[in-house]
Every structure is written in C-alpha cells, then in structure tokens.
Chains A and B, each alone.
Chain A
Amino acid sequence: MMDELRDLYQEVILDHGKSPRNFRHPEDANREARGDNPMCGDKVTVFLKVSPGGVVEDAAFEGRGCAISTASASMMTELIVGRTEAQVKSLFESFHEMCTKEDHEHVHHDGLDDEAMEKLQVLAGVRQFPMRVKCATLAWHTMDAALAGGTRISTE
C-alpha cells in the first residue's frame, strides 16, 4: 500500500513537481491552449512553437496544479521538442495507454517513442490511483488541443 504511494511520488516526479522545466510563456509561441480540471480547479496553459514544416521547436507551460500534473507537464515539454506533430500525437497515445491500462503496449514502436516512454514510465504509478489519471494527462490533452489549433479544454 505504501509502496504504491512511493511508486506514485517518485523522486523524479517530486523534482519536476517542485522545479518544473519550461515553466514560462515564450514570446514566439504560435500555438497555445488552456486546460482546466474542473474537479480540482487546476489550470494549465500550454505554449508551442511549431515550425512551418510541422515540427515542435519549443514547448512550455504555465499554471497551477498538483505534483502529478505539474511533473507530467514538465516532462512533456522536454520530450516533445524536435518531434513532428504526428510523432507527438503517437507519443500522447502511448502515454495515455500507459496511464490507463495495466498491460499496455506502446501504440507505436519507432525507437523515438520507446526512449521517451522509458522516461515517462515514472508516471505509470497513477494507474493505481484512478482519481489521479486526469492529473497526469491534463497537460497532454491541452497540448493536443494546442496542436489542433488552440482551444480551451476541460477534462470533464
């Protein structure tokens, strides 16, 4: 039981939660979206700079959330830079599977994903905490909305 808590609150997560990377509002972002979790009032805004060729050149976020949602957003911004929109979407799918399915398989095995998924594995602990899956995926849904053109999304 306490082990599940330790799985959830691993050092890496606590570190990203406390000192989130890319926690800023880039001047030259050309996509952004705002995400809300109405259940807890958490908010996140994701900023992306996407090149004309469809490659994510910069990713950042602002907002307030719990350790899980902040860590997830922080790691996400590190991992999606340099990827094409299609690659980002496939990573999101794999991540979503990991958060929700016990015997998940990465949806796409293209090497790139495998490496990123290894890092994201620290968030797999949320599977034991169904109430917290939305915390882990909020920034990703928001990022997805930003890619799609930028809207407001809500996890409920």
Chain B
Amino acid sequence: MNEITKPPQGFDSGTTSGYDVEEVRKDFPILSREIYGKPLVYLDSAASAQKPRRVIDAMVTSMTEEYSNVHRGVHWLSATATTRFEAARKTVQRFINAREDREIVFTRSATEAVNLVASSWGRTNLREGDEIVISQMEHHANIVPWQMLRTEKGIVLKIVPIDEAGTLLMDEYEKLLGPKTKLVALSHMSNALGTINPVKDIVRIAHDKGIPVLIDGCQGITHLGVDVQDLGADFYVFSGHKLYGPTGIGVLYGRAEILEGMPPYQGGGDMIARVTFEETTFKGIPHRFEAGTPAIVEVIGLGAALEYLMELGLDRVAAHERDLLAYATAQLLEIPGLRIYGTSPDKASIVSFTLGDAHPHDIGTIIDRAGIAVRAGHHCAQPLMDFYNVPATARASFALYNTFGEVDALVASLHRVREIFG
C-alpha cells in the first residue's frame, strides 16, 4: 500500500501560508458531526458548500429580530430589513467589484440568472439564424435555456470543443465567432473537470468583434473570486449556496448599460409594450428584474457569507485549495486503475475520476460508509460525459475547510473499493 498518512514534503499539513484550516473548520458546525459513526469528510462542496456559523447566525437574527417585508413598509422593521437587504447587495457589489450596486440582480439561483438573460435579453435581441457560442464543458444550466430559445427563435448553438485534457480550444473558439454570433456564454470553471477557462481572453476576443459575453461563474467565483470590471464580461452569474451561503439565492451581475436595455423577466418580452404599466410598477434596474417578494433572509445570509470570505482572504483560501488539489492529485494517481478526467494545466479544486471497473455509483456508496461524501454521476454535464464516453465519474471537490488528512481518508477508502471490486 502507498504511503498515504503524511503529505509529501512541501505540504505543511493544514497550515498553508499561515492558513489555519483547523481554526476555519470550527466556523462550520456541520463539520463536527459523524456519518455512520465516522467523522464526516465532506468532499462535495462543488455541488453545494457547507455553511459557516456566521451565515446561520445572520439568517437567524434576520428572522428573530429584524424580519419584515422589504421596500414597502414605513415601519421600523421594514426599514431595517430593507437596509440589511440592500446592504447585502452592496456586499455582493464589493465582492465582485461591480461599478454600481444596481448591476446586482438577485435571482433564485445561477440557473434562474441564465434563464433571465435568455428570456429577457435573448428574446429581445435574437433573431432566427443568430448564433450563441457555448462549450463542450457547460453545465446543463448553461445549455438548456439556450436550447429552449433555439426552439422558440430558431437560433443556432455553436459548441467550442475541448481537448482530451479538458482544455478549451481557444483557436476553435476564435474561429466560431462570426457575423451571426450574438452571444458567448461560457463557464469560468468546469464543475465536472475543474478546468479554469481563460475568461479574460474569452471576453476580449468576443468584445473585439462586438459580441457580448455571459460567464457562468458558479464554480470559478468560489475558488478564484472575480473582478467583473477587470474581466469585462457583460453578464456574470453565480449561486449563493456554492459560496458558503444559503440555497434559494443567486446573482446576475449585468453591466448597467446592458441591463437598462432589457425588459422585465417575468411577464416576458411581450410586456415591454405596456410601458405605462411597467414604469409605474418597476423602478428601473435592478428591481425591474426582481418581481415579487425577494428571498430576504437568503440575501442577508449571502451577504454574511461574502463578508466571511473577504475576512478569510480569498487569496489564502485559493492557495490552500491549490495545495489540496496538488496533494490529492498526486495521492490519487498512486491508486492502480484510477483515471482522472480533467488534467488541464489550469484547474482548481476538483478531481473527477473513475476507478477500474467500479462504477462511480458503487464507489460513492462504498466510501459513503466511511463517512466520505463525493458526487457520483454526470454532474449535470452529460455532453461532457459523452465526450469522454463515460456514463459518469466520481468527483471529489475541495473547499476552504478541507484538510490533507481528509485527502488521505479518501485515498484509504478507495483502496477499500478496490478490495471489493478485486
């Protein structure tokens, strides 16, 4: 058996660049629980991250002390709730370095944010034969909304290919951009492979041709952060729950100029004709896109999550996660029969793998009994699974609270899988 108990030289267990992961873990109540009598080893943060006490407390305080509807009452509670709610919008603005807080639209999730753009911007701006460029590695959330628009509008989807390592082929990308291309919609980072895409180059190349860009930042933002002004993308979408915040809340960042030109989401493109009704009902961006009572408590929880992350320091988090990834990759490759999908030189915090003949579902079930949570499946990226000709992979994803010891636990449990499957 391999030497799996100690990180190799250069890995200073748990204290990468002065980052004290054991202290950080104390902020996450769930991490101290056991599963089947074993300490929980949570390696599924790419699906959804665990929540720090800060987020839980902020949501509890909101509901126990400061709760009311927002934007519509003169009473103290409503004013307080509104202040907290809008303060969270400013926190998001700060976190992604948006120019103005009205560029932050709260949605239910990243999925809803993409649908909002497809529905509002897409229906208004796209004609039959227009092209949208996506990639082979997109999450279904950045495929299906465009397919629905294709059915409705007769637009065409162009797919940027990837190589065997899971790296986007930038030459092919550039070639796909033509006079009919009306939007580029690509992920910052692949949730199934971990590949980090050169989003800044992607935006620059598209903008040189006058083509707007949407970036699906669901995974990228959690490991790399984002500066939307530096990036220059027209839209950037992400979900709160992968960023250590609550479920039910996502963000659509849109450049003010582009959002200004978009009709309300709910009610659809046809509603744009009823201008009088619209103007008396909606105040402009971002509220135009936030019809109905918003996810007040969740927005406040998201704000708390981002404050927490900014205090921890995204750079330190990123460094810790890079070390975990390097260590995990080295350890996993020692296991006979293990194959990693996604070996791009530029990747973060995700290891997708198969192990001999063992189906990822069986791997997931077996290591679950050792308290280890990984994702087994197609990761909502079936076209990508088809590319690699596998039905599924097992995926371990590493977050700010994971440790080298947890990597060791994963490796040990995979040896158990090998024992069972011979």
Contact = CB atoms under 8 A, between A and B. Distances in A.
Interface in A26-84: 39-43, 64-68, 70
Interface stretch (A1-9, A86-94, A108-116, A139-147): A1-9
A40 B392 CA distance: 7
Contacts of B200: none
Contacts of B377: 39-41
Contacts of A68: 361-362
Nearest to A43: B391
Contact of A5 (B37, B361, B366): B366
Interface string B381-410: 010010000011000000000000000000
A80 B25 CA distance: 53
A125 to B, nearest CB: 11
B365 A129 contact: yes
21 contacts: A1-B37, A1-B369, A4-B369, A5-B365, A5-B369, A9-B366, A14-B420, A14-B421, A18-B357, A40-B361, A40-B391, A41-B377, A41-B382, A42-B361, A42-B391, A42-B392, A65-B359, A66-B362, A68-B361, A129-B365, A131-B365
Given A1-B36, A40-B376, 16 more contacts: A1-B37, A1-B369, A4-B369, A5-B369, A8-B365, A40-B377, A40-B392, A41-B378, A41-B382, A41-B385, A42-B391, A42-B392, A43-B391, A66-B359, A67-B359, A132-B365
Contacts of A124: none
Interface residues of B, number: 21
Interface in B345-371: 357-362, 365-366, 369
A8 B360 CA distance: 15
A20 to B, nearest CB: 12
B18 interface: no
B13 to A, nearest CB: 28
A70 B361 CA distance: 12
B37 A132 contact: no
A42 B361 CA distance: 10
Contact of B361 (A2, A14, A66): A66
Nearest to B385: A41
A64 B391 CA distance: 7
Interface of A: 1-2, 4-5, 8-9, 14, 18, 39-43, 64-68, 70, 129, 131-132, 135
Contacts of B358: 67
Contacts of B422: 14
A154 to B, nearest CB: 14
Most buried by A among B358, B378, B391: B391
Contacts of B385: 41
B398 to A, nearest CB: 23
A23 to B, nearest CB: 14
A9 B420 contact: yes
Nearest to A38: B378
Contacts of B391: 40-43, 64-65
Which 7 pairs, one residue from A and one from B, show the smallest C-beta to C-beta distance?
A66-B359, A66-B361, A41-B378, A64-B391, A41-B391, A40-B377, A67-B362
B366 to A, nearest CB: 6
Contacts of B36: 1
Most buried by A among B358, B360, B362, B377: B362
Nearest to B357: A18
A117 B357 CA distance: 28
A130 to B, nearest CB: 11
A8 B359 CA distance: 14
B360 to A, nearest CB: 8
Nearest to B371: A1
B374 to A, nearest CB: 13
A14 to B, nearest CB: 7
A135 to B, nearest CB: 7
Contact of B378 (A2, A40, A67): A40
